A = this chain, B = another copy of it.
Amino acid sequence: MSDGPTITTIAERAGVSIASVSRVLNGLPTREDTVRRVLSAADELGYVPNSVARSLKSRRTNQVAFAMADIGNPVYLTMVREIQPVLKAAGYRLVLHSTDADVAEEIDVLRSLGERYVDGLIMIPLRIGEAHLKAVEAARAPVVIIGSVPDGTRVDNVRTDSRTGVRLALEHLRSLGRRRIGFVNGPLDTVPGSARSTAYAEGIRELGLPYDENLVEIGDFYRAEGAQAVSRLLARAPDLDAVLCANDLIALGALDVLRRAGRRVPEDVAVAGMDDIDLAAVAWPSLTSISLGSAERGRLAAELLLDRLGNGDRDPKVVTVPPRLMVRASTVGEETT
């Protein structure tokens, strides 16, 4: 593990200057004979260029960071899986940050862009407040935010339309004849939580159904917390005939709770989730879900960032991925599987 060879080592062995070595290695025009000597010296020494030195000079690191709350969340995982190959193909490495949805940590990631250890950042904050927006605008490297930012914020942005998503789900449930449609949400101070809350209230009214606050329960976007919230909901509104869950993890918890409570899905209670995670298709019964295009959002974010890296000062772009209804057994029964 001795110190590796540098261009200086090569230059000495090949009997040329370090400038020539650099030129050869970068494919700049050089005399045939010099090229040969340098290349064979580099080869014999097992030379590998030092990327740190190169970065210092070139001011590019060929690294991009992705920051999300927790890679255990299937949605973020899906995004990582899409983002990575796109970046890799473009010659970038991926640095992963888990922020535990902690605002201070997220701000810190933005601040740390000043260290210049990455060329850009893709971030998906659960909550977006003033502090975020200020930090984003002050960021020292290009940033792409996944999740709606206020209009006018000068940052590349990939969004989905969870309002329409909720509406799609509600219409689907209503079209199956359901009238007592419960809603299990995550925290209201999160971006998706607040959007989906509003959308549920609106959607219910548009369908001509009465808004009953007993049909709404708030937990968190995880399976266990979701399951508890569903239990509470079931206690408060035992007559419900459908449950819309603000994400699929909650919905999976709901399937469990309903099964244990002896309710048949979908005969007694139809269940729909959101995000269309991989698990939705393989759960039992398979889960009807609103796809919010996680994979596509990830890919688009990566592409937006690459585009921005190649072209520093174009205007910020906003890309919206439309939600799609994925109908499966948890609302319409097995026959369609």
Contacts and interface: CB of A to CB of B under 8 A. Distances in A.
Interface of A: 1, 4, 46-53, 55-56, 61, 63, 70-72, 77, 80-81, 84-85, 88, 93-98, 111-112, 114-117, 138, 140-142, 223, 252, 256, 259, 279, 282, 284, 312
Given A94-B95, A96-B94, A140-B1, A52 B61 contact: yes
A1 B312 contact: yes
B48 A111 contact: yes
B98 A95 contact: no
B115 A49 contact: yes
Contact of A48 (B72, B93, B115, B282): B115
A212 to B, nearest CB: 30
A114 B55 contact: no
A175 to B, nearest CB: 28
Number of copies: 2
A55 B312 CA distance: 26
A294 to B, nearest CB: 13
A75 to B, nearest CB: 13
A69 to B, nearest CB: 12
A240 to B, nearest CB: 22
B140 A48 contact: yes
Contacts of A142: 1
Nearest to A138: B46
Contact of A95 (B50, B53, B95): B95
A128 B98 CA distance: 30
Contact of A116 (B50, B95, B97, B259): B50
Contacts of A95: 63, 93-96
Contacts of A50: 115-116
Contacts of A111: 48
B81 A117 contact: no
A279 to B, nearest CB: 8
Contacts of A52: 52, 55-56, 61, 116-117
